[in-house]
Amino acid sequence: MSGSARWSDLAPRAISGVAMAAVGIWVIWAGGLLFDALVSGLAGLMMWEAARMFGAPDARRSGLLAAVAVGLSLWLHGLFVLPLLAAAVVVATASVEREKGVFVALAFWSLLGCFAMALLRDNAGLVWVIWLVAVVVLSDLAGYFAGRTLGGPKFWPRISPKKTWSGTIAGWLGAAVIGFVFMAPTGAGLALVPVSMLVGLAGQMGDIAESAVKRLRGVKDSSNLIPGHGGVLDRFDAMLGAAVVVVVLWALDLMPGLV
């Protein structure tokens, strides 16, 4: 690959990234209903993209129901969460004719990840969401630049042919740096460093999982909503994986600094 081709997607990625970062920072800072509304909207877009990838004729309806389900789950909480999310997935799955099991996994994971992000902001506070976003973003950036610069053996060529071991390891190191930086602000201490690396790995696995689904369905991107990034699922797949793992660790009392 030539030098120009290797970096051909950098400009649109950077422009879209800056725009998303500006909106994201503002909404994360505001929190409350605004953040919950954004997360619910993203959940709807993810369901719409997933339904389209699997050929569902009523993808818009599925997306709308998903947004409503996540919004209601954030309002009702408790025992209502899983039934609400599952109901939205069941309705969407009814119009999918092939690979229903894969679709169910993708759809439920997407909605659960969105719920987890909002739950973290609403109940753990601003600093924890900033930490999570920083882990995922720096892990992604470190992996992107290290992979493009250093190259080397592929991490999982059959599923994600662009990912290299150099980029993967750089992502873990980037996550560790974020963990070190946030030890004091979160009150989690040194234990946050290995946890951040685990969360960074979960983000990478989320990225790879979505790549596997796209490969199965024979599509390059989940949609073309975001220039240089593809779709909403393409951009937030790592965040979904990381958020779910954080909330699971939190529920198991394994998150340092969170009780």
Triad 87, 235, 251: Cα angle to 5°: 55
Rounded CA separation 105/51 (Å): 12
Half-sphere exposure of residue 82: CA atoms within 13 angstroms, side-chain side: 2
Confidence (pLDDT) at 2? 47
In 177-207, which positions are buried (b, 16+ CB within 10 angstroms) versus exposed (e)?
A: bbbebbbeebebeeebbebbbbbbbbbbbbb
Q: Mind giving me the DSSP string for 91-123? A: HHHTT--S-HHHHHHHHHHHHHHHHHHHHHHHH
For tokens 């150099």, what's the residue?
166
Name the residue ranges covered by the structural domains of the chain: 31-123, 125-259
For tokens 């071991």, what's the residue?
165
Confidence (pLDDT) at 12? 62
* Average pLDDT per consecutive 10 residues, the chain (259 residues; last block may be shorter): 51 67 87 94 97 94 97 90 96 92 96 95 94 94 80 72 81 95 94 96 93 91 81 93 95 90
Nearest residue to 55 (alpha-carbon basis) of 98, 102, 91, 1: 98
Q: Which residues contact 44 (CB under 8 A, 6 or more apart)?
A: 63, 64, 66, 67, 68, 70
Instruction: Determine whether 171 is exposed, middle or buried from the number of CB atoms within 10 Å of its CB (0-12, 13-18, 19+).
Output: buried
